[in-house]
Chain A
Amino acid sequence: MSLLTVEGLSKEFGGVHAVEDLSFAISPGTIHSIIGPNGAGKTTLFNLVTGIYTPTRGAIRLDGHDIAGRRPSELAGLGMSRTFQNLQVFFNMSAVENVMVGHHLHLDRRFWASLVRLPSVVRRDRACRAHCVELLDFVGLGRYVNSDAASMPYGALKRLEIARALAAKPRLLLLDEPAAGLNATESREIDEVIKKVAAMGVTVVLVEHDMKMVMGISDHILVLNYGRKLAEGTPTEVRANADVVAAYLGAHV
């Protein structure tokens, strides 16, 4: 069974169809890329799937249950996590605290317990911290553990978001242009991180412009154009698709 199924999904903003009648499915354990020209509706699709936008029409199913219109925080509880194209880092906190927030759902969230700092809270917090330091190491940010997020370079913040998303222990991880604005070395590092994540059994959905990365790591690619599905398939299939080539070269008439 598919982990995520999208059926007839549409989103309008004041008459503009950002996403229109879109259907696709994502199988567990795969790396699934979504590509398309600027304005094709990729980020809108992410925002719909993760509950930030409410669809105008259509269904989004996680494990067969409709999740359209649920809040992002509820979806996080169902095992969905994401990063952002425009960074949504907590700049008022340190790197490791950012990641610890990612672990939020797996901690003791009782107000009273936090307020009087029960020993159990302290214990779990300490374990959580250790775990989050590991995650920072995992994404290659070991030297930033106690740095203020506000003082970290852009490339590191991109990875910080991935670490934070991972801390939520997602089954489905959506990465919105993780390599955008990074140099070749950094892109390669991100590439490695994504592969490692997938190897842990997390299903990854990726929006990315770096074709080399997309073609290299994806199991499956969905091509969007003007909010609609243009093509779908394995990297080889997509590369051979005439419509895709046309859309990307802008020669489509």
Chain B
Amino acid sequence: MWKSPRTGGLAVLVALVTLAPLGFPNAYFYDVAVNALFNATLCVGLNLLVGYGGQISLGHAGFFALGAYGSALLTGRYGLPPLAALLLSAGVVGALAFVVGRPILKLKGHYLAMATLGIGIIIHIVLKTESAVTGGPDGLGVDAFSVAGLTVSGDQAWYWLAAVLVVIAVWLSLNLVDSPVGRALRAVHGSEVGAEVVGVDTTGYKVLVFVVSAVFASVVGSLFAHKNGFITPDIGSFFRSIEVVTMVVLGGMASTFGAVVGAVLLTLLPQFLASFEDYEAMVLGGIMMGTMIFMPKGLLPSLRLLLAKRRRTP
């Protein structure tokens, strides 16, 4: 345990994202893979909040959308360089999360779920309604992403960017979880009073991780906007929020790699299910129910337990 899955797991991840393109026959595969890795990055951030911090959020797509629109507007309308727009958006989203996080994170359980849901929906409504700025439900075009004159173009380039991003996100998450700050955070999940009496400022840590996960979402949102070249308010809808939380829970809460696995699988799933046509929704719902019934801890932790058990009884 003490040697931790940090180095090993990270190495596997790096190997996977490096080798995966060998199995990609065309640009479409890259496209799906980029979406999967973007979602994975978002989920690694969200997992810090939901899995490790134990605080539910049903509004994270709102932060994702704010990042996307922030970048789209700052580059398209105000001519900011994309990287500056990304950072500025992330800063603003972080500040917003900080401001709303304080009162909201006093709530617990389903009340917190309701409040975060409300925040997400309000953001979605604003993006939909202020069409003079955001283009409304019909969407908004976004310029290409370029840094210092180099433009990220083509699915391959985006794939490598997304791969680097997810590796960094996983690395940061693994660092954090096994550090004084991360332990305090997990302690908040374990017992808030227990954490308080040994000096953990529980409110502070809850707000901190809320801000961190919101910033993750914003950064991914910005890149997603540039990569897709076109965004609509639906990227911030309530369904998207549910979808990303489902990714985290399905993959395995309080497991950084679980979040990655959950995000990748749930991103690929609709591509497989497309052939089910009208039965797609039933299959998706069935998979969600089945996974949680038979693996209530999520895919990765449950599989890990299973493997551990098998090893003990050869």
Contacts and interface: CB of A to CB of B under 8 A. Distances in A.
In-complex A–B contact (CB below 8 Å): yes
Interface of A: 50-52, 71-73, 75-77, 80-82, 84, 88-94, 97-98, 100-102, 104-105, 107-111, 113-117, 121, 125, 128-129, 146, 149, 161, 164-165, 167-168
24 contacts: A50-B197, A52-B196, A72-B197, A73-B196, A73-B200, A76-B196, A82-B197, A84-B193, A88-B193, A88-B194, A89-B194, A90-B186, A93-B190, A98-B187, A101-B187, A101-B195, A110-B181, A111-B208, A113-B179, A114-B182, A115-B181, A116-B175, A117-B179, A149-B190
Contacts, number: 118
B193 A114 contact: no
Contacts of A81: 197-198
Contacts of B196: 51-52, 71-73, 76
Most chain A Cβ neighbours within 10 Å, of B2, B179, B193? B179
Given A90-B190, A101-B195, 4 more contacts: A73-B196, A111-B208, A114-B175, A129-B2
B180 A93 contact: no
B199 A114 contact: no
A73 B201 contact: yes
B198 A93 contact: no
Given A90-B186, A116-B172, A76 B198 contact: yes
A129 to B, nearest CB: 8
Given A52-B196, A164-B198, A88 B191 contact: yes
Contacts of B182: 114
Nearest to B179: A114
Top 10 nearest A-B pairs (CB, nearest first) are: A90-B190, A88-B194, A76-B199, A114-B179, A114-B181, A72-B196, A107-B180, A105-B199, A117-B175, A88-B191
Contact of A105 (B176, B190, B193, B198): B198
Interface of B: 1-2, 54, 172, 175-176, 178-184, 186-187, 189-191, 193-202, 208, 254
Contact of A92 (B184, B190, B197): B190
A82 B200 CA distance: 13
B200 to A, nearest CB: 5
B200 A101 contact: yes
A167 B193 CA distance: 16
A161 B190 CA distance: 13
Given A97-B183, A100-B183, A84 B194 contact: yes
A179 B5 CA distance: 37
Given A73-B196, A92-B190, A115 B175 contact: yes
Nearest to B253: A92
B197 A125 contact: no
Contacts of B201: 71, 73
A219 to B, nearest CB: 24
Contact of A168 (B1, B186, B198): B198
B194 A121 contact: no
Contact of B184 (A50, A82, A109, A115): A109
A121 B254 CA distance: 22
A53 B178 CA distance: 32
B1 A94 contact: yes
A84 B198 CA distance: 12
Contacts of B181: 109-111, 114-115
Contact of A108 (B175, B180, B187): B180
B189 A101 contact: no
In the complex, which of the residues B1, B182, B189 has the most CB atoms of chain A within 10 Å of its own CB atom?
B1
A238 to B, nearest CB: 28
Given A114-B182, A115-B172, A93 B187 contact: yes
Given A89-B191, A90-B190, A93-B190, A114 B198 contact: no
A122 to B, nearest CB: 9
